[in-house]
Structures are given as structure tokens and as C-alpha cells.
Amino acid sequence: MKKKRFPGSKLYLALITLITYLPIAVVVVFSFNDSKLPVAWKGFTLHWYQVLLQDHALIEALRNSIVLGVVSCAFAAVIGTLGAIGMARVNYRSKGMMEYLSTVPIMVPEIILGMVFMAFFSLLNLPFGMVTLVIAHTAFCIPYVFTMVKARLVGIDPSLEEAARDLGASPGRTFWDITLPLIMPAVASGCLLSFAMSFDDVVISIFVNGPKLSTLPIKVYTQLKTGVTPEINALCTIILAVVVVVLVVAALLRRRK
């Protein structure tokens, strides 16, 4: 029996694809535009890529964002993974409430989190800079890893760990040889999502950022006051190309397995 298709399904899919990818295509195209104003096409050029490579402040902001994202993801991966495993191993009345509280940073508006972090760091007299950025980003990245790993643990057969323990494996050996390989896809997914959220964050970073440090989103945001040049389009195109390459390599490795 053939499934009935909605008459406008193809049109709907085409419309969603157009709305999603047309702005990205425009950014890529105008990164090669020989004009400072992204209004009309003036000709092909690589000038804005040359300007980008000579803009040390923008490159430094990009480097800060990458370092911040990697460090925050590393801490979030450890804390979120251990928290999810700990929640799965215990059973008490307030367990549901604790799991709910662990995901609160995802639901709280970023402007509220930013104000809370700013007040908290000011209370501790902690200098604003990379340290405060890492702490804040780690805090709102943990729930993403926690949620992913928690969902993965639900589908793992407990008898696998019990069999390893029966064979004489210690709790640590059981974790490294059985549990960790099984939850690693969830950990990796949580880390990628956390990195994307950290790399893209503007609101929280503005509240906890120091005067001598700038991340890429903050740098782009401050340039909106004077006008964003196609140099930003060039940077977005390079980042997009890197993401596409990573996705293609990941897909090829998955096919080999």
C-alpha cells in the first residue's frame, strides 16, 4: 500500500530549503563582490580575503572564540558526562527535580544568565576576561552534554556492565571499556553542540567579557555600529567551508565503518 503524499510537500520542502540556505548563499557570493556595499554585484575579487588576513584584531577575536569554545566544551564534556552517569546510577526521591534543575540554563534567557554571572563574578572580585568567559560558557554548555549522554544511557543494556563486573573488571575498568565507548557518540554530539553555542554566543559574553579581550561574535556585533564590510562575509565563508569539510570527512569515516 502506497503512502499518500501531501500535494504541496515538494513545494514546502523547496520553500524551507530556500529560506534556510539563501541567506548563506548570499553571504558567500558577496564575499567575492568588488564593492564595500552589499547591494549590487560590481565584479569578482579576492580583495576582502586579503583584507581579512591583514586584520589582526579580527583574527585575534577568532582565535579567542576557538580557544574559548574548545576549553568550555572540554570542561562541559567532563562535568556533563559524569553528572549524567551519576544521575543514572542513583535513585532517590528528588532525582527528577535534580535532573530538571540541571537543564535550567537551557531554558533561562541568556540576558538573565549574563546578568547573574556578572553579579556573581563582581561579588567574588574576579577579574573579567578569559577566566570568567570560560566559567560562564562552561555553565551553559553543561546541560547540552548532560542531556545527550542521559538520553544515550537510557538505551544501554545494564547487563553489559554487570557482565564486565562479574568477569572481575573494576568500576573504573568497566567505565573505560564498556560505558565510555557506548556513550561516546552522545558525548561527541554534546560537545559539537556546546562548541557551536559557545562560538556563537554574544549576550552572555558581553556581560562577562573583559575590556582587553574580544571574541568574534562581540567583534562583529560592535562593527554593526559602523557598518559590516564584506570582510565579515569572507570570514563567514571560510568558517562555512571548514564546517562543510569536517562534515564530509565525518560522513566518509562513518561509511568506512
DSSP string computed for 199-255? HH--HHHHHH--TT---HHHHHHHHTTT---HHHHHHHHHHHHHHHHHHHHHHHHHH
Q: What is the 3-state secondary structure (H, E, C) of 88-155?
A: HHCCCCCHHHHHHHHCHHHHCCHHHHHHHHHHHHHHCCCCCCHHHHHHHHHHHHHHHHHHHHHHHHHC
Residues 6+ apart with CB under 8 A from 89: none
Residues 6+ apart with CB under 8 A from 85: 149, 153, 175, 179, 183
Residues 6+ apart with CB under 8 A from 228: 220
Q: Which residues on adjacent β-strands are paired with residue 33?
A: 44
Euclidean distance between CA atoms 224 and 46, whole angstroms: 22
Which residues of the chain are modeled with pLDDT < 70? 1-7, 38, 227, 257
**Digit-coded pLDDT (tens) for 48-70:** 888 888 888 888 999 999 999 99
* Residue 88, pLDDT score: 79
CA 142 to chain centroid: 11
Euclidean distance between CA atoms 111 and 117, whole angstroms: 10
* Residue 2, pLDDT score: 54
* Residue 30, pLDDT score: 86
Cα–Cα–Cα angle for 179, 147, 172, nearest 5°?
20
Which pTM was predicted? 0.84
Length of the chain: 257
Domain locations along the chain: 56-234
* Residue 213, pLDDT score: 86
Domain 56-234 has CATH 3.30.310.50: no
